[in-house]
Amino acid sequence: MTSDTLTRAKDKFVTVDGLRTRYIEEGEGPPVLLLHGASLGSSVDVFIRNLGPLARAGLRVIAFDQPGFGLTDVPADHSPAYRRDFIPKFMDALGVSRAALVGHSQAGNPAVQLALKEPARYSHLIVLGTGSLLPPIDGAGDVETAAQQRLERRMAHQEPSIEDTRKLLEANLFHHDLITDDELALRHARSIGQNFDAFVERNRQAESAPAKEPKTPMWQRLSEVQVPLLLIFGREDRARAADRAHLLKQKMPALDIHIVPNCKHLVPWDAADEFVRLSIPVLMK
């Protein structure tokens, strides 16, 4: 990575649904909204390698800290449904009538839901490493996944140390050299304080009122998406993501699916150049 790709855009703030919401943006052109995942420490900073290259391609690239993440205020409702419905409210607050959606990890599922519900509002859809949008397969659990789950469960009861944060990043990144001291310190800062409190509350609310599974799994509805759709998965991602992505391609040959080598779960970091290379032709359709 060149040093200019890691230049951080200036933080901006807008009030959405009564919450002071942090966002960053670069470029001019058709809007593209980057949506981070829901792991502890997630924020717009996961996309710092991607904004510049996408903006230089002629796009207005926007990323925001979701409620309870990063520097955005903590909501009372920590449900995935609230975060999903916050997306069009954020667009309204910025005066964006139509945008492409790029959803990483847990954000991929709500991005698909929104595109299915209101295709006129969302121009394109890109999914990065969203395991819930892949069909199940026998033996999808693995030792690495179990170890990460144990660490995350422990962290739901005890604020993480900086070494805990490092372990989580290492579990999600193929290229450990990307974990510089500055990157580690930033990720850790997004994992403690109010962000940790929000993480604990998300887990508590999820345990007390688990989300209802849809009658039709969302992966079975991907063929219904009416806008250009691209799915990217890391070959080394957990829970046999690559095998399941191959299975999805067999079931739905028309889907545009790419499996990137030397890449785990943090696709925007591990495969920053490949993500941009694959996305720009789709986003410029």
**94 residue type, one letter:** L
241: in domain: yes
Query: What digits encode the pLDDT tens for the residues 186-240?
Result: 999 999 999 999 999 998 888 887 777 778 999 999 999 999 999 999 999 999 9
The CA-atom distances, in angstroms, between 162 and each of 7, 37, 92, 108 are: 23, 20, 37, 28
Q: What is the pLDDT of residues 58-113, one digit of tens each?
A: 999 999 999 999 999 999 999 999 999 999 999 999 999 999 999 999 999 999 99
Cβ contacts of 277 within 8 Å, gap of 6 or more: none
Within a domain: 279: yes
Domain count, the chain: 1
Could you tell me if residue 207 is left (phi over 0), alpha (psi between -120 and 50 degrees) or otherwise beta?
A: alpha
Q: What is the pTM of this model?
A: 0.93
pLDDT range class, residue 150, cuts 50, 70, 90 = low
- Quick one: which of 223, 222, 202 has its CA closest to 211? 202
What is the pLDDT, as a whole number, of residue 2?
37
**Structural domain that includes position 99:** 3-140+213-283
The helix (run of H) or strand (run of E) holding residue 80 is: helix 80-94
Q: What is the pLDDT of residue 46?
A: 97
Does the residue 162 lie in any domain? no
pLDDT of residue 4 exceeding 50 = no
Residue 84 domain flag: yes
Residues in the chain: 285
Q: What is the pLDDT of residue 141?
A: 62
User: Angle at which helices 162-172 and 143-155 pack, to 10 degrees?
Assistant: 150
113 lies in some domain: yes
Note whether 170 and 278 are within 8 A (CB): no
CATH number for the domain that contains residue 129: 3.40.50.1820
What's the confidence (pLDDT) of residue 260? 98
